[in-house]
Structure formats: structure tokens, C-alpha cells
Structure 1
């Protein structure tokens, strides 16, 4: 675990949806920013006198590629001091103080059971990193189901990229699921993420669950997965908010 703080420079900002942005941050002190897919960084933002009220943690959305640059995907939280600062004050060229990589939310070794990557909103970030890493290095893996819940089609992050990965990666299944979409144009899954894994695991085969996103979703998923007969040790989580 790295306790050291680094100065990162924002090299690029892209609006991904109406309320999420992608931030590319380069750490000039490092020749390569080494991390394991699924890890996060903590930003120290100038929004409070007290340290612990300035710190905001975000999963790294990019995969390790030997460069000193990482990508974060961040949703604007209404009334959130951290994201308000990032959205209103930070520009390309801005400096951000960051610490990392941190966290143990990483792929199981060995990967023997089917993997269910269940997320909402920007919770897709660590899973994007994991799947790209597996694909890039052609690592053997079991079936992987990325179940991604958002409200509307316009909220889906990395849609084309995930569809392309699904086409290129045997055993990778991309399952975006919309809870409020009613346009009639959406032909994919509707409802909440829970019905998707419950349906896919009707046979109760061995599985590993990774949950990332809002607390309400994670609490409900933990309850439902254990009710299906899985052990709590099969469940790994990263909480947002």
C-alpha cells in the first residue's frame, strides 16, 4: 500500500454523459503508474480544513498499461463538495494531489468460478479495468457476466467499448440493465440488476460476486446472494457514497 502523495496533472477531460466525466491524470514522478485492476486512488481536494473531509476515493477506470497516466470516471453528486469542485474548478492542466494505488478489490487468483461483476453508475470503473486487462493479456478466465444497472440508456457508460469487448472476448457477457427506460427503442434488459443474476444462476452453480456502486444496491445484492445459498466469502465489495 502506497502512503505517498503524488502531484497529478489533469491531461484530458471528457463529458461522458449528462452528469459524468472522464478525467485523465498523469503522475509525472512515475515512469509507470503500477496498479492492479480494481484498485483505487484517493484525491486530496482543497474543500475543507480537515484532511479526512478533503479525501475522495475513486476506482481507476483504465487498465495498467505501463504509462504514468490513469483514467477516473466521476459522477456529479448533487450537493457533493468533492465532485462540485472537480466539475467546476478542475480544468485540463490542473494539478491534483493523489495517493495510491489502494485497495484489495482485485480479481481472484486462481479464477475458477464464474465471475459476476455487478455494478451501478460509475461502479463500472474497476470492472472496465479488469476486463480490459484480461483481454489485453489473453488471460484464461471463466465466464464473466458484467451486469450494469443505470436508469436510462443515456446513462450507460462505455457502451460501444463493452459491446466490442463482448464480441472479441469468448466467455465475456455484457448485460446493461435499465430501471426506468420506457422509450420503446431499448430492446435490452429492463429492471434492476438483481433479477439478472438471479435468473442466470437459477442452477446455483459456483460463482464469485464483485459488487460496486451505491450502498442500497450492494446491501440488497448481499441479501439476495446469500439467500440464494452462496457464502458471504463469495461476495467482494467496493462501496460508493
Structure 2
């Protein structure tokens, strides 16, 4: 299969937190950029001679809206060649080589089982896309639990937007949980694993688990979820780093 790369134009940049930035990219040679919520794109960045060392993949944080523009949210990784280039060199009007959409990390065909969307860091991106899409198209769904783990309040991405979504969309629960927060935080504390274990509390009711974020979180979640008696086919994942 031939790789098709498109030239994207960066139309807008916005710092979401102290170390994450939102990038809006328009693909002029496409009338509309069609993708399924949860899919990703690959960028070819001029950071290495070997092409496979130039490629960086990012989940699409926006939902399909019929336009040819997408949003990515990217964290600046210490020593990360790709993110350092994107943060230091890319401005509004810059061009980026884009391939996609790619990936099978998408919503189930039938929305009959409860959905646990478990993420850390920028792993919230595909779940933001999914949740907005479900809301926009009034897709019937069982309870959806977005469990978002990070260290401190300053690390929360799309917090106000997710709270608003939870207030507007029946059956959508937004549960941010912080592992290193002081007493000013009144929400959930600790790690994501305690949240879904407590919610399921040995009931093993029908559920799908979508995991997106750091490898350590995903590995532990897989172990714990199968340990609760769920089948590995109930678990879908997208690895970061």
C-alpha cells in the first residue's frame, strides 16, 4: 500500500498547560478530512535522516466535523526530538507533512456495554474526540466513564470542556484523579486503577475498557482488568511512549 502524505498548514497554536500545546492543522488538498474518533495521524518531521526516526504519531483530539482541519494536543517531552521541534520551530502558517487517518482504536460497532475510557496525560485526546462525537450525533449509549489520571491540577487537559460535557450529556461521567495534589484539590486522589476497580467492585458487569497513555499505566490496567475476570478482547489500547 502506497503511503500518501499530505502537506498540512498549521492554522492555530494554543498552550493548553505549561507543557502541552494544541495544534490545529488544515489539509488544503482535501475537501474534508474524514476519520473515525480515536484514530491518529503521523507527522514526518525533519529531525533525522532515516524516515522511521522522523515519524511521530498523535491521536486526533478533535471530532470529525466535515472540515479539512484537525486538532492535536502534544506534550513537550524532555529530550524528545519530535516534540522539541514542534514546540520550537512550528508557528502559525508552518507546513507539516501528515499521513492518515490511521488506527483501529475506535468506538465499538454496538454501544451496548458500559465504556470505561481510562487515560493519562495527552491520552485524553482520542476520548475527547469520541465523547464529542457521541454527543453531537446523539448516539444512544450506556454509561461512559472517562477516568483521567495525572499528577497535579495544572496537568489537567480540557478540564472545563469535560466538566461541561458531563453536565450536558446524560450517562457521561468525567472523573479526573490526581496522584500528587495538595489539600486544595477536592476531587479524586490516587491512580486511575483504584477508580474503575471501586466502580466495578467485583460485579464484572458487561464493559469495554479503552486504555490510552503511558505504557506503565496500560500494562498495569490490563493486568488488573483481566484479573477481575474480563476477557482480553474487552480491552482496547493505544500506547504512548
TM range, normalised to the smaller chain? over 0.9
Q: Which residue is equivalent to 2:159?
A: 159
Q: Which residue is equivalent to 1:35?
A: 35
Structure 1: segments with no counterpart, 5+ residues:
none
Provide the TM-score with structure 1 as the length reference: 0.98
Q: Which residue is equivalent to 1:74?
A: 74
Q: Which residue is equivalent to 2:194?
A: 195
Alpha-carbon distance in structure 1 between the residues aligned to 2:30 and 2:131: 24
- How many Å apart are 1:185 and its aligned residue? 1.4
- How many Å apart are 1:2 and its aligned residue? 8.1
Alpha-carbon distance in structure 2 between the residues aligned to 1:2 and 1:195: 44
Q: Which residue is equivalent to 2:236?
A: 236
The SS at the match of 2:142 is coil
Q: Which residue is equivalent to 1:13?
A: 13
Number of matched pairs:
240
- How many Å apart are 1:167 and its aligned residue? 0.5
Question: Is residue 146 of structure 2 the alignment partner of residue 146 of structure 1?
Answer: yes
Cα deviations by residue, 1:177-196 (Å, 9 ceiling, x for unpaired): 000001x1111000000000
Alpha-carbon distance in structure 1 between the residues aligned to 2:2 and 2:220: 32
5 Å-filtered alignment, 1:1-241, equals 3-182=3-182, 184-202=183-201, 203-241=203-241
Alpha-carbon distance in structure 1 between the residues aligned to 2:226 and 2:22: 34
The SS at the match of 1:79 is coil
For the 8 Å contact 1:148–1:176, the answer to whether it is kept is yes
Would the alpha carbon gap of residues 2 and 127 (structure 1) be closer, same or farther in structure 2, given more than 3 Å must change?
farther
Alpha-carbon distance in structure 1 between the residues aligned to 2:120 and 2:196: 14
- How many Å apart are 1:111 and its aligned residue? 1.1
Alpha-carbon distance in structure 1 between the residues aligned to 2:68 and 2:111: 28
Alpha-carbon distance in structure 1 between the residues aligned to 2:88 and 2:170: 41
The SS at the match of 1:175 is strand
- How many Å apart are 1:201 and its aligned residue? 0.6
The SS at the match of 1:220 is helix
- How many Å apart are 1:204 and its aligned residue? 1.6
The SS at the match of 2:82 is helix
Provide the TM-score with structure 2 as the length reference: 0.98
For the 8 Å contact 1:2–1:101, the answer to whether it is kept is no
Structure 1 stretches (4+) deviating beyond 2 angstroms? none
